Amino acid sequence: MIADLPPGLILILGALAIPFIPAGLRRYYMLALPALGLLQLLLLPTGMQGQIEMFGHTLTFVRVDGLAKAFGIIFLLAAFISVIYGWHEEEALQHVAALVYAGAAIGAVFVGDLISLFIFWELTAIASVFLIWARRTERAYWAGMRYLVVQIGSGVILLAGVVLHYRATGSIAFEHLGVVSLGTTLIFIAFGIKCAFPLLHNWLQDSYPEATVFGTVVLSVFTTKLAVYALARGYAGTEMLIWIGALMSAFPIFYAVIENDLRRVLAYSLNNQLGFMVVGIGIGTELAINGTVAHAFTHILYKALLFMSMGAVLYRVGTIKGSELGGLYKSMPMTAGFCIVGAASISAFPLFSGFVSKSLILTAAAGEGHWLVWLVLLFASAGVFHHSGIKIPFFAFFARDSGKRCEEAPTSMLIAMGITAALCIGIGVWPTGLYRILPFPVDFVPYTTAHVITQLQLLMFSALAFSVLLRTGLYPPELRSTNLDSDWLYRRLFPALLRFIGDMVAQIHYRSLLRAQVRLHRFIATVYRHHGPQGALARTWPTGSTVLWVAVLLCATLFFYYL
Amino acid sequence: MDENGKKYWLDKPGSVTLVYRAVWVVCALLAVAEFFYAQHPVFEFESFPVFYGLFGFIVCVGLVLGAKELRKILKRAEDYYDR
């Protein structure tokens, strides 16, 4: 019975009951939902269950294997932590949205066919947008609209791809697809949009920083990692992904360096971390896929931790702009400490979680001889330390003292950050636990002298570069600004183009109308000339001439009669 | 000195310089450490002395200076999209 229940359904259905539960009990109830989900997941037997016949298709809602299980566990764990983080949030709407969203993402991970995938794919989009709108600002409203258009668009493209794929192969099974036909290419693009591929990426940096304190943390977990899962399932070993991933890991960090909104800096670094995972999928070996899954797992935790700490700052100070913050370690020492743990984890310091997961991907890239990609990833590793590892804690908690004084973060937030920080360090110190839940057997030792020393060298020299640039005044200051990114295309260029085309059409319409009017007037004038009061055809003739004409006609008749 | 009378080590003159110098010392130690264990380079360029350190330093300086140049092209007023 429990095996037929789609994982995620507990969260989705459970979430719908939240508004009807007394406020005092509500939080404990919400905490129980992901805990129950986790219990159900651990009881699920491997294989296909929960199949339903619908419209002549077999929909599979429960397919359990190593890949799905690893993503299921981390999604549920993240949902659990985010409930604690959102303890202060009174509004039921956000909690419903967050848990339906989490449930949909978990549901999507366990489906065995593309139609069910589409259903959950769209549900994640619809549920999650409320986390942005809940900020209730004009900016958030429009950012949410853009987010929704992109996400629903991704779903529509997915559906088109599924239909074409079904027409071509007669199968809706969600197995390895590969970019082989128009259908699978469309599915690839749909996944790519949600995975924030280069130039399809900007919805992420546009929308996540506009969501609520609680919402951004939840958003950072699911959508993009669901896409990583879907790519790993359908497109492992697609070589194109190696290059896409390398590009993704490198270019967002330039933006991260000059971005002022610290939550947006994190959104750029999220994009960069996705690049590592996408490279792993592109390589497609067992080691690389393990690396991708492990990195998704650790990434969800440390990225959520970083977003939680920045959320706490926003919650207490009311702004998250680097140009206005600084010196907050005096007011929020614990938040600062947790932020540094997150920063050390994302930077892959030895004994922190990123170290044991990222190295799988780098080793896989080196093992397959991709030296250029390996160098790009090494650059991205140094870069991520630079902007996420140093910049985030430095400009928020240290740098020059902004004079801002506030309370430490609420206890619930501190507990959520504490649990996540403990997990980040725990995985870093004891990676075997993480390696056990990876889809393939792991034969990898992260802690070798060479690996530790080389990684420390890379990081400390990057820190040196930061310090030197800061001391010499070469480091670009945090400035209040907007940096143009690909969203400029659809927020400025396309509307401008549309306006231009609209103007052109209006002009042409106006001119042709004018010309038609002139012709009409001329025609009317001609008719008037002939038929008007003075027209030859409308003239009245005297009776005499009529009599004359009658006489002429009679004569003619007489003449013809006698002929 | 904070308004509640608490003193912070980082506020003391010279503390930041001390941190700065410590980073230099750690880097120097890590560069030297390289000669005390057997390396297993996968690529040839990895055997270049202090490859990881130098690579990290150079790309980070490049990253920051590159981003600074990018700012000249990409930077707009904060309310650019709200107008």
Question: Which pLDDT tens digit goes with each residue over A146-181?
Answer: 999 999 999 999 999 999 999 999 999 999 999 999
pLDDT given at position A379: 95
* Residues of A with Cβ-Cβ distance to B11 under 8 angstroms: 401
Distance of alpha carbon A504 from alpha carbon A315, whole angstroms: 48
What's the pLDDT band for A483 if we cut at 50, 70, 90? Answer: confident
Residues in chain B, overall count: 83
Contact B27 A460 (CB under 8 A): yes
Identify all chain A residues contacting B39, using CB atoms and an 8 Å cutoff. 450
Looking at per-residue pLDDT, the higher value among B79 and A503 belongs to A503
Determine, for residues A458 and B55 on separate chains, whether the beta-carbon distance falls below 8 Å. Answer: yes
- Torsion, CA A20, CA A23, CA A29, CA A33, rounded to 10: 70
Tokens at A241, concatenated: 């992904």
Domain boundaries, given as residue ranges, for chain B: 1-37, 42-83
The half-sphere exposure of A276 on its side-chain side, counting CA atoms within 13 A, is 34
What are the Cα distances from residue A303, in Å, to A47, A272, A280, A384, A424?
31, 12, 19, 12, 10
* Total count of residues recorded for chain A: 563
Residue A1 has pLDDT above 60, yes or no: no
A457–B78 CB contact, under 8 Å: no
Split at pLDDT 50, 70, 90, the class of A134 is: very high
Tokens for B58?
Answer: 């150079």
Q: Is the pLDDT of residue B3 over 60?
A: no
Between A290 and A528, name the one with better pLDDT.
A290
Residue B6 pLDDT greater than 80, yes or no? no
Using 50, 70 and 90 to split pLDDT, how confident is the model at A459? very high
> What is the spatial distance between Cα B67 and Cα B46, in angstroms, rounded to a whole number?
27
The structure tokens listed for A206 are 């546009």
pLDDT at residue number A535: 75
Q: Is A479 exposed, middle or buried (0-12, 13-18, 19+ CB in 10 A)?
A: middle
Region of poorest pLDDT, from A32-46, A116-130, A286-300: A32-46
What would the pLDDT profile of A104-132 be if each residue is shown by its tens digit? Answer: 999 999 999 999 999 999 999 999 999 99
User: pLDDT tens digits, residue range A71-84?
Assistant: 999 999 999 999 99
The least confident of A210-214, A340-344, A544-548 is A544-548
CA B45, B46, B51, B55 torsion: positive or negative? positive
> A99: which 2 tokens?
């848990």
CA dihedral of A116, A119, A120, A121, whole degrees rounded to 10? 110
Secondary structure class of A180 (helix, strand, coil): coil
Judged by CB atoms closer than 8 Å, whether chains meet at B75 and A483 is answered as: yes
Distance, in Å, from the CA atom of A378 to the CA atom of B58, rounded to the nearest integer, reads 12
Distance CA B56, CA A382 (A): 6
Residue A3's pLDDT is 65
pLDDT in tens, A84-96: 999 988 888 999 9
DSSP A6-60: PTTHHHHHHHHTGGGS-HHHHHHHHHHHHHHHHHHHHHPPSEEEEEEEETTEEEE
Looking at A368-436, list the stretches that DSSP marks H as alpha helix, in order from N- to C-terminal side.
371-384, 392-397, 411-429, 432-436
- In the numeric block, which tokens belong to residue A107? 């549901």
Please answer whether residues A157 and A188 qualify as being in contact, where contact means their C-beta atoms are separated by less than 8 angstroms: no
- Give mean pLDDT, residues A542-551: 84
Per-position DSSP letters for B8-66, written without gaps between them: -GGGSTTHHHHHHHHHHHHHHHHHHHGGGS----SSGGGGSTTHHHHHHHHHHHHHHHH
Poorest-pLDDT segment among A115-119, A307-311, A379-383, A528-532? A528-532
Give me chain A's average pLDDT, please: 92
User: In sequence order, which residues have a C-beta less than 8 Å from that of residue A13 and are 6 or more positions away?
Assistant: none
Nearest to A253 by CA among A238, A266, A240: A266
DSSP string over A440-505: S--------HHHHHHHHHHHHHHHHHHHHHHHTT-SPPP-S-EE--THHIIIIIHHHHHHHHHHHH
Q: A196: left (phi > 0), else alpha (psi -120 to 50), else beta?
A: left
pLDDT value at residue A382: 93
Query: With bands split at pLDDT 50, 70 and 90, how would you rate the model's confidence at B1?
Result: very low
Tokens read off for A316: 């207490």
- pLDDT surpasses 90 at A283: yes
Please say if the pLDDT value at position A556 is more than 80.
yes
Whether residues B53 and A461 touch (CB distance < 8 A) is answered with yes
**Minimal CA separation from A261 to chain B, in Å:** 10
Residues of B with Cβ-Cβ distance to A477 under 8 angstroms: none
Give the predicted TM-score (pTM) of the model.
0.89
Best mutation site among B1, B24, B29, B59 for testing chain A: the one with the most A CBs within 10 Å? Answer: B59
Count of Cβ atoms closer than 10 Å to residue A521 Cβ: 10
Residues B14-32 have pLDDT tens digits of 888 888 999 999 999 998 8
Min mean pLDDT across A136-150, A297-311, A333-347, A478-492 is at A478-492
Q: What are the C-alpha distances in Å from A38 to residues A43, A292, A326, A344?
A: 9, 22, 40, 28
CB distance A258–B38 less than 8 Å?
no
**A456 Cβ under 8 Å from any chain B Cβ:** yes
The answer to whether A460 contacts B77, with C-beta atoms less than 8 Å apart, is no
Percent of chain A at pLDDT exceeding 90: 75
For residue A545, the model assigns a pLDDT of 81
Interface touch B60/A483, C-beta < 8 Å: no
pLDDT in tens, A192-239: 999 999 999 999 999 999 999 999 999 999 999 999 999 999 999 999
CB contacts of B66 in chain A (<8 Å) are 254
A54-73 pLDDT, tens digit each? 777 888 888 999 999 999 99
Burial B53-67 (b: 16+ CB within 10 A, else e): bebbbebbbebbeeb
- pLDDT the model gives residue A222: 94
User: What is the per-residue pLDDT for A386?
Assistant: 86
pLDDT tens, residue by residue, A432-447: 999 999 999 998 899 9
Instruction: Give pLDDT, residue B9.
Output: 81
* A contact test, residue of B17, B64, B65, B82 with most A CBs within 10 A: B64
Q: How many CB atoms lie within 10 A of CB A42?
A: 11
Residues A74 and A7: beta-carbon distance below 8 Å:
no
- CA-to-CA distance for A328 and A307, rounded, in angstroms? 16
